[in-house]
């Protein structure tokens, strides 16, 4: 679709803009001696070089070729008319020929000079050059005034250090998240920033990649059309079923009128109630209830229309006879209600389709006792809140394709044989070695934190005696509990600053930088690998005193501010 769109727009653009091309060519000839077009070496898709085509904007002399590869605002090499063309980006229009030839695309990372590309890292070069370069891009929109940022003698240094890293970041984001509708957004922003009075507008990174066209198509148009098809199919299936049990002599024209009308109403009501704004791939089951008002209101409106419409004139497609107070509805009320219920089921299945398919597949694998692809098998120790949170991340998050939760281990006998978050509780702590061998467990996820240190050591010893890798899942509910306690009832400064009082995790995070924490952890890891447990304990105590001292100071300052 992208290549076809590029070719059609490029061909049409070259045809329609040919008079403008002729006029610009004559002006360039009058402005300075030299060719009309500039052909420069650029690096394209896969690292293949090509000649980019532009209107010439510089004087044709040796100084122009010896200067920097990047043009600044005060560059003396640019001709007067060339400055006019560059300010309005008209010098880029001949690149439509590169697009038609397949060397470029309308939207894609801007092609760079080979000398500039040579300084890129191999990873960035491979990613950015994996697609065709474009006439415009998100980075082109963001830096449409690039030449005004470059002046003086250090043009290349400024470009390479200040501008290029940001442009490459935007180019990488484009390559990773490109889509046809996203390309239309970039074209929209490009046309907008070129308008004289709007050119100073700077769209945010979010709006660059999720612009009005992308948002309209992904969030509204796609769901509107999908709901339209579901509702149309629901009333069509209901009508066929009704006819199989008895007569339904309303005529095809009337049937189509009601089917399309009901489908449009369902889609419109869904849009009005904001159903399209829900990210259904991450939605909870309770959000299904938001579909009910939309379908209910669409059903009520359909019933009202059904009660008032007597017939649709057979000779005029647009003539509808209306009678107020008609006691004989055109369609059976039960049929409309059945179609509404079927449409509601279709809406739910459509929105939860991926999870229904994945859940069914996982259940089938569990019944057959076969592994789910190449997923690493995980055994979760602990069926409490932390264990359930870990299971949700592995089953529903971005790791679902990499890990498969085999089940839980918990010492609560009443939980044995029960299902939690779609996985069975397989036994207690003594069953861990047997379960690891039986189910070929690769990872044991330790997620129990509300136990004594003695029980914790015993459990971890059992886990470490197996062949599986043991990973301790962080105590996220415990951290949230600290915050909740602090918000619901603040302790006095003296109590909170006590050396024996646990510190709320948010204070540690606000006082200590992540880089500093990472350095501490790396030091502890080295000491642990050397087996120097005494040094590990001494280091932990020193770090604990430092964190508590900083946190106590911060808390005292906060209490003083509140008192004031």
CA distance 395 to 437: 22
For every residue of 279-342, DSSP letters joined together read -GGG--GGGGGGHHHHHHHHHHHHHHHHHHEEEE-TT-TT-EEE-TT-SS-SS-HHHHHHHHHH
Helices and strands in the chain, H and E counts: 27, 12
- DSSP-assigned beta bridge partners for residue 444: 379, 470
- The CATH code of the domain at 375-474 is 3.40.50.720
Q: List, for residues 236-256, the tens digit of each pLDDT value.
A: 888 888 888 877 666 677 777
Listed by start position, the domains of the chain span 2-210, 217-351, 375-474, 492-563
CA distance 532 to 527: 6
Q: Is the pLDDT of residue 36 over 70?
A: yes
Cα 213 from chain centre: 16
- The sign of the CA dihedral 153, 158, 164, 170 is negative
Please list, residue by residue across 380-394, b when 16 or more beta carbons sit within 10 angstroms of its beta carbon and e when fewer do: bbbbbbbbbbbbebb
Largest CA distance in the chain: 96
Q: List, for residues 224-236, the tens digit of each pLDDT value.
A: 788 888 888 888 8
* Alpha-carbon distances, residue 138 vs 165, 206, 441 (angstroms): 14, 10, 46
Q: Is the pLDDT of residue 9 over 90?
A: yes
Of residues 513, 541, 514, the one with CA closest to residue 527 = 541
Q: List, for residues 167-185, the tens digit of each pLDDT value.
A: 998 999 899 988 888 898 8
The residues, ordered by sequence, that sit 6+ positions from 92 with a Cβ below 8 Å of its Cβ are 54, 135
* Higher-pLDDT residue of 86, 562: 86
The residues, ordered by sequence, that sit 6+ positions from 349 with a Cβ below 8 Å of its Cβ are 356
Q: Is the pLDDT of residue 147 over 80?
A: yes
pLDDT at residue 56 in the model: 95
Kind plus residue range of the DSSP H or E element containing 167: helix 164-177
Q: What mean pLDDT do residues 37-43 have?
A: 94
* Higher-pLDDT residue of 421, 4: 4
Q: Is the pTM of this model over 0.85?
A: no
Q: List, for residues 317-374, the tens digit of each pLDDT value.
A: 444 444 444 456 777 888 889 988 998 898 888 888 766 766 666 666 556 554 445 5
* Alpha-carbon distances, residue 457 vs 108, 249, 422 (angstroms): 56, 77, 29
For every residue of 224-252, DSSP letters joined together read HHHHHHHHHHHHHHHHHHHHHHS---S-H
């Amino acid at each position: 679709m992208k290549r076809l769109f590029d070719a059609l727009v490029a061909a049409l653009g070259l045809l329609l803009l040919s008079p403008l091309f002729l006029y610009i060519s004559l002006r360039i000839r009058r402005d300075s001696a030299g060719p009309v077009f500039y052909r420069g070496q650029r690096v394209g898709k896969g690292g293949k070089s090509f000649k980019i085509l532009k209107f010439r904007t510089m004087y044709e002399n040796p100084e122009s070729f010896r200067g920097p590869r990047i043009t600044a605002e005060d560059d003396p090499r640019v001709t007067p008319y060339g400055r006019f063309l560059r300010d309005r980006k008209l010098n880029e229009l001949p690149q439509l020929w590169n697009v038609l030839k397949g060397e470029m695309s309308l939207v894609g990372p801007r092609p760079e000079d080979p000398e500039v590309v040579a300084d890129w890292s191999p990873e960035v070069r491979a990613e950015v050059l994996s697609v065709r370069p474009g006439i415009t891009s998100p980075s082109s929109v963001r830096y449409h005034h690039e030449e005004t940022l470059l002046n003086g003698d250090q043009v290349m240094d400024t470009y390479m250090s200040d501008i290029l890293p940001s442009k490459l970041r935007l180019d990488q984001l484009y390559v990773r998240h490109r889509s046809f509708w996203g390309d239309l957004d970039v074209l929209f922003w490009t046309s907008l920033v070129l308008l004289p009075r709007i050119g100073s507008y700077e769209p945010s990174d979010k709006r660059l990649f999720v612009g009005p066209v992308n948002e309209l198509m992904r969030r509204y148009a796609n769901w509107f059309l999908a709901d339209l098809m579901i509702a149309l199919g629901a009333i069509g299936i209901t009508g066929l079923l009704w006819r199989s049990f008895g007569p339904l002599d309303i005529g095809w024209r009337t049937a189509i009128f009601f089917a399309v009308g009901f489908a449009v109403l369902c889609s419109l009501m869904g849009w009005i109630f904001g159903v399209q704004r829900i990210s259904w791939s991450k939605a909870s089951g309770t959000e299904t209830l938001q579909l009910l008002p939309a379908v209910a209101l669409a059903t009520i409106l359909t019933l009202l229309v059904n009660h008032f419409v007597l017939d649709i004139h057979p000779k005029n497609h647009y003539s509808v006879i209306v009678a107020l107070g008609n006691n004989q509805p055109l369609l059976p009320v039960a049929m409309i209600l059945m179609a509404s219920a079927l449409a509601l089921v279709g809406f739910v299945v459509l929105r939860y389709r991926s999870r229904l398919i994945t859940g069914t597949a996982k259940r089938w694998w569990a019944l057959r006792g076969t592994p789910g692809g190449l997923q690493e098998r995980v055994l979760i120790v602990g069926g409490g809140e932390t264990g359930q949170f870990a299971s949700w991340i592995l089953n529903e998050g971005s790791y679902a394709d990499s890990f498969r939760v085999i089940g839980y281990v918990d010492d609560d006998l009443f939980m044995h044989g029960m299902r939690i978050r779609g996985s069975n509780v397989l036994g207690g702590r003594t069953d861990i070695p047997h379960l690891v061998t039986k189910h070929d467990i690769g990872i044991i996820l330790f997620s129990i934190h509300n136990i004594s240190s003695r029980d914790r050591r015993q459990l971890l010893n059992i886990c470490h005696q197996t062949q599986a890798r043991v990973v301790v899942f962080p105590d996220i509910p415990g951290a949230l509990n600290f915050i909740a306690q602090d918000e619901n009832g603040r302790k006095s400064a003296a109590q909170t600053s006590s050396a024996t009082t646990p510190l709320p995790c948010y204070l540690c995070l606000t006082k200590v930088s992540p880089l500093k924490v990472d350095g501490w952890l790396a030091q502890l890891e080295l000491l642990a690998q050397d087996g120097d447990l005494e040094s590990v304990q001494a280091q932990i105590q020193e770090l604990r005193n430092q964190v508590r001292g900083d946190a106590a100071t911060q808390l005292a300052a906060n209490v003083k501010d509140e008192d004031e």
